[in-house]
Amino acid sequence: MAVAQDTILTSTRLAGISETVVHFGRTIGLPAGFAVFSVIAWELLCRITHISPELLPAPSAVWDVLSGNPRILIEQALPTTIEIVVSFAIATTIGVLLATGICSSAAIREAIYPNIVMFQVIPKIALAPLFIVWLGVGGKSIVTVGVFIAFFPMVVSTATGLVSAKPDVLQLCRSLTASEWQSFLLVRFPYAMPYIFAGMKVGVTMAMIGVIVGEFITAQAGLGYIIMFASSAGETATVLAAIVVLCGIGLVLYGLVGAGELLVQRWFGGELPAGGVI
Amino acid sequence: MAVDTIASRAGTVLAPIGAVTPPTLRQLRPMILPVAAAGAVLAIWQMACVLAHIPPVILPPPSQIAAEFWRILPVLLHQAVPTTLDSLTAFALACALGIVLAMAITYSPLARDMLFPNLVLFQIIPKVALAPLFVVWLGISSESRVAFSAFTCFFPVVISAVVGFASADTSTLRLCKSLTASDWQSFLLVRFPYALPAIFSGMKIAMTMAVIGVIIGEFISAKAGLGFYILYASSRMDTAAIFAALFVLCMIGVTLFGAVALAERYVRQHYGRR
């Protein structure tokens, strides 16, 4: 009897494992397989139709550039990465602080928030040349463009998060004579965390866009500069290699924000049963 | 208590008949406060420029920008035409392609599993970096800018449309099936209306991104357009002209976004009535 139950248990467990394998294969294997298939099709297309490499280099040619001179690419990736990280950090700090200030009073929020939402809509990238007039050619203006673009989604989503705390919980805090600051730190802020991270995910991609556009317009170094320089020289393989490196940087930074979100969620989850207080 | 609620209900029903009272200050507050804040910023800007003697090359006062705006308005409007047309074309292309691809993804699980993770990945990577490649492929004409811009704003449309199509009520879909509705009918009458809010939120993102894409394209390669004009003015250190062009660009951005928002309201009303 017990043995029979045991075998049933193991078999269901085995079935569960094979199911997860199939699930894993489908969710990871299929998209990855499609990506690999596309790259192979691209390679074959280039070899068979003899497209000029200036127009569309084969993936193998891009790989040759990547493996042939990794030092130059890494050297150029360094300033770009630093500029992205710095502008993202500044945008996040200012954005969260400003959102906190905005949410401190209803009148301030009503006065400023619609203007910020309006700024979300307008094409801010057009201001890039203005920063060059103000700050000159170089890293400072590039970082400023990045900050300026990444800043608005940060403010908007943080402000949305700060007002999304459950009124019941806030009322409870008040009835327990918590100070404004305490209820901000212990209730409003944890409730805003998912929104802040959503804003940070948009912000990190926006900071990348800002920095790259900044480097397009004005730079003597960086991957954006390499892309512009190589494309005007007709070295399309180099352009694609630089783009591959950029995509790598983008994915790593996005992944770091995602990992930070998990970490903070777990931390706050231990301190405060999120969503389950009342 | 019950009488009270009835009376108040009657009051709310009856009130609109004789009430064409002008809106009170409290009701206008959400309008007045933001405009006042914007006005205050402009006033401080003007005063700072005049009092601190900031050179106009660095930061011209709003009054000078306004004067410059009126002076070069014909030029700006002339330059605004290609930018607006390119943005609209790119937006339309991205929406059409995006919704068709989203339909394919919705109806084929294989296509969804294969394509959707890759699309989400593309959403994250900095597609801006590809702008110079479009110039290599399509030249410096407006096709390259439209193609690049459509490429950047295509992804939000697909992703939000897929999410929207998946959000249709399953019991309603089952009801359609049991009433022998065709796949096309249940798509048109159930899935599509359910997906509208998500599709429009994707379209709003796409509209702003379309303008951004065209501007970046004009920065890199153009002989006309507001992006070109801004770069040209900045190379002449004509800061007031940059601001004037930026103002026109902001107007275009807000108008196009507003048009999408209006279309959303209209379409939702249309579907709400049926």
pLDDT for B181-213, tens place per residue? 888 888 888 888 888 888 998 998 899 889 999
Are A41 and A173 in the same domain? no
Q: Residue B216: which of A213, A239, A246 has the nearest Cβ?
A: A213
Determine how many CB atoms are found less than 10 A away from the CB of residue B85: 14
Determine how many CB atoms are found less than 10 A away from the CB of residue A180: 11
**Contacts A27 to B, Cβ<8 Å:** 113, 117
In a domain, A135, yes or no: yes
**Contacts B132 to A, Cβ<8 Å:** 216, 227-228, 231-232, 239
Mean pLDDT of B68-76: 92
In this structure, of A60-64, A254-258, B102-106, B138-142, the range with the lowest mean pLDDT score is: B138-142
Q: Give B221-228 contacts, CB < 8 A, sequence gap 24+.
A: B221/B135, B221/B140, B221/B144, B221/B145, B222/B140, B222/B145, B223/B140, B224/B79, B224/B82, B225/B79, B225/B82, B225/B83, B225/B86, B225/B145, B226/A126, B226/B76, B226/B79, B226/B80, B226/B83, B226/B252, B227/A126, B227/B83, B228/B79
Are A227 and A137 in the same domain? yes
In a domain, A273, yes or no: no
Domain with A238 in it:
68-268
Are A123 and A8 in the same domain? no
A123 with B131: Cβ contact below 8 A: no
pLDDT exceeds 80 at position B30? no
Describe chain A by its helix, strand, coil percentages, rounded to 5: 85, 0, 15
pLDDT band at A9 (very low <50, low <70, confident <90, very high): low
Provide the shortest C-alpha distance from residue B159 to chain A (in Å): 15
Are A139 and A39 in the same domain? no
**Contacts A31 to B, Cβ<8 Å:** 113-118
pLDDT band at A144 (very low <50, low <70, confident <90, very high): very high
pLDDT exceeds 80 at position A10? no
B215 with A110: Cβ contact below 8 A: no
Are A98 and A234 in the same domain? yes
Are A94 and A156 in the same domain? yes
Are A102 and A211 in the same domain? yes
B137 with A55: Cβ contact below 8 A: yes
In a domain, A60, yes or no: no
In this structure, of A10-14, A247-251, B1-5, the range with the lowest mean pLDDT score is: B1-5
Q: For B207-243, what is each residue's pLDDT tens digit?
A: 988 999 999 899 888 788 898 999 888 888 888 999 9
Domain count of the fold of chain A: 2
pTM of the complete model: 0.80
Determine how many CB atoms are found less than 10 A away from the CB of residue A10: 10
Cα separation, A154 vs A203, whole angstroms? 6
Which residues, at least 6 apart from B147, have a Cβ–Cβ distance to it below 8 Å?
B90, B134, B137, B138
In a domain, A275, yes or no: no
Mean pLDDT of A80-93: 95
Mean pLDDT of B149-168: 90
Domain at A148, CATH number: 1.10.3720.10
**Maximum alpha-carbon separation in chain B:** 76
pLDDT, mean over chain A: 83
Are A150 and A46 in the same domain? no
Q: Residue A111: which of B34, B110, B237 has the nearest Cβ?
A: B34
**Of A57, A31, A47, which Cα lies nearest the Cα of A243?**
A57
B136 with A242: Cβ contact below 8 A: no
In a domain, A276, yes or no: no
pLDDT at B92: 96
In a domain, A106, yes or no: yes
A133 with B239: Cβ contact below 8 A: yes
Are A44 and A72 in the same domain? no
Are A45 and A74 in the same domain? no
Are A35 and A105 in the same domain? no
Q: Residue A107: which of B33, B110, B114 has the nearest Cβ?
A: B33
Mean pLDDT of A47-55: 84
pLDDT exceeds 50 at position A235? yes
Cα separation, B111 vs B96, whole angstroms? 18
A228 with B133: Cβ contact below 8 A: no
A212 with B250: Cβ contact below 8 A: no
Mean pLDDT of A64-84: 89
Cα separation, B243 vs B233, whole angstroms? 10
**Of B146, B134, B159, B142, which Cα lies nearest the Cα of B222?**
B142
pLDDT at A276: 32
Q: Residue B208: which of A123, A212, A224 has the nearest Cβ?
A: A123
Q: For A95-138, what is each residue's pLDDT tens digit?
A: 999 998 888 887 888 888 888 888 887 888 888 888 888 888 88
In a domain, A56, yes or no: no
Two structure tokens written together for A77: 């990736």
A121 with B253: Cβ contact below 8 A: yes
pLDDT band at A272 (very low <50, low <70, confident <90, very high): very low
Determine how many CB atoms are found less than 10 A away from the CB of residue B20: 6
Are A27 and A135 in the same domain? no
Cα separation, B224 vs B164, whole angstroms? 38
pLDDT at A252: 92
pLDDT band at A19 (very low <50, low <70, confident <90, very high): confident
Mean pLDDT of B72-80: 92
Determine how many CB atoms are found less than 10 A away from the CB of residue B8: 10
